[in-house]
Amino acid sequence: MSETIYDVTVIGAGPAGTQAAVSASHQMRHVLVLHSGKVSFSRGRAYWSKSVEIEDAPVFPGITGPNFAKELMRWMESRPVVNFMLGDKKHTTGIDIKDGMVTRLTRDNDLFEIEASTAALKKDKPMQLQHFRSRTAIVASGFDDKWPDIEFQADEKRLYKQYATVFRYAGNRKGWHVCIRCDGHLHVNEHLALLGVGDYIYEAAIGAQDFTDKITILTNGRPHGMSTSVLKQVQERKIQIIETKIKQHIGEKTDLLGFEMMDGTKLFFHGFLVDEGLIPNTKFLDGWDYQKDEEGLIVTNEDMQMLDSNGKPIPGLFAAGDIISGERNLIATAFALGQEAGLSASDSLRKWHYPNN
């Protein structure tokens, strides 16, 4: 167990976590940031916009995911840990950044205990765990996208394995997209294939209609599952639904070009989007009684404080970014929610509060 007791521990170093850490240190708090980027595959969604430029966020023009992630790190590094005097008492402020995938968050009286795996995960090797203590904690760990289980071309297996993540996150405009709002502009008036089922996928189709009216919905062998009213609109909009199971990707180098279907037909499109749902990065909260929506995203009050199942704020526990329930958040929202969480966590540590009467 580390000797240090941090004021604020931030879990995740995407835009939400970074902003929360900077805002809390700006209020003179001693902040620990634990991020799983180098320890696990979970690098955060902001990272994965690999070669597609981020266009609609308050970041440098032309920046891509990995550079954006680097700049966020540099921003936090600009606030190193230093001591300062307040009256005659020594205090500490600044940000301690550590590689660490948080595996458990518990509370012992007034302090949070954070367990994190701090070395790269290796098959057949036990995790290297470290423990930290903190007065408050901010969950900014985002979510991962659910991916369909579609084979890569057997004869090209090695190449495709190597490029699996490139394909998945639209490393080029011919990979899989996961965010129509983010990448739709790359396919104006082009043929877009959307993968998913139910009324859920039609929500993505509605977004896609801002960019193109050439849309096909692929269900990958499942019944479409759309409600009558949605189906009526799908037909009015002349959106094709294909329920055949997909056999494998058709690709060339890192470009995805289409699919071979189980019935032998081939389908070619300009752009692919998958919307099969999400997996919240909140495993470390197992055992906590907290409010979440049907997708597992966290519900907070307006101070970004997490709530128990009775709607009561959980002392010292905050959340920000994509992990927050609501319309899918994006980078600018993640910054805004992160700032709110960083300030609220800092305020909660004040010794003196305004008198109630």
Ligand X SMILES: Cc1cc2nc3c(=O)[nH]c(=O)nc-3n(C[C@H](O)[C@H](O)[C@H](O)COP(=O)(O)OP(=O)(O)OC[C@H]3O[C@@H](n4cnc5c(N)ncnc54)[C@H](O)[C@@H]3O)c2cc1C
Chain residues that interact with ligand X, rule: CB under 6 A: 11-17, 34-37, 42-46, 48-49, 54-57, 101-102, 140-142, 169-170, 178-179, 182, 281, 284, 321-322, 329-332, 334
97's tokens: 């950044």
Which residue in this structure is represented by tokens 């609220």? Answer: 344
**How near is the Cβ of 19 to ligand X at its closest, in Å?**
8
Q: Which is nearer to ligand X, 163 or 224 (CB)?
A: 163
CB atoms within 10 A of CB 27: 17
Measured CA to CA in angstroms, residue 214 lies from 38, 120, 225 at distances of 40, 44, 21
Q: Which is nearer to ligand X, 42 or 344 (CB)?
A: 42
Measured CA to CA in angstroms, residue 350 lies from 29, 316, 343 at distances of 10, 12, 11
DSSP string, 260-315: EETTS-EEE-SEEEE---EEES-GGGTT----B-TTSPBPB-TT-EEE-TTSPEEE
**How near is the Cβ of 322 to ligand X at its closest, in Å?**
4
**How near is the Cβ of 82 to ligand X at its closest, in Å?**
24
**How near is the Cβ of 194 to ligand X at its closest, in Å?**
15
Greatest CA separation found in the chain?
A: 78
Q: Which is nearer to ligand X, 18 or 219 (CB)?
A: 18
Q: Which is nearer to ligand X, 57 or 343 (CB)?
A: 57
**How near is the Cβ of 40 to ligand X at its closest, in Å?**
7
**How near is the Cβ of 222 to ligand X at its closest, in Å?**
24
Pairing of strands 143-145, 278-280: antiparallel
Q: Which is nearer to ligand X, 256 or 334 (CB)?
A: 334
Q: Which is nearer to ligand X, 61 or 311 (CB)?
A: 61
Coil/strand/helix, residue 123: coil
Q: How far is 77 from 202, CA to CA, in rounded Å?
A: 43
Q: How far is 212 from 194, CA to CA, in rounded Å?
A: 12
- Are 136 and 112 in contact by the 8 Å Cβ rule? The answer is yes
**How near is the Cβ of 158 to ligand X at its closest, in Å?**
24
Q: Which is nearer to ligand X, 56 or 289 (CB)?
A: 56
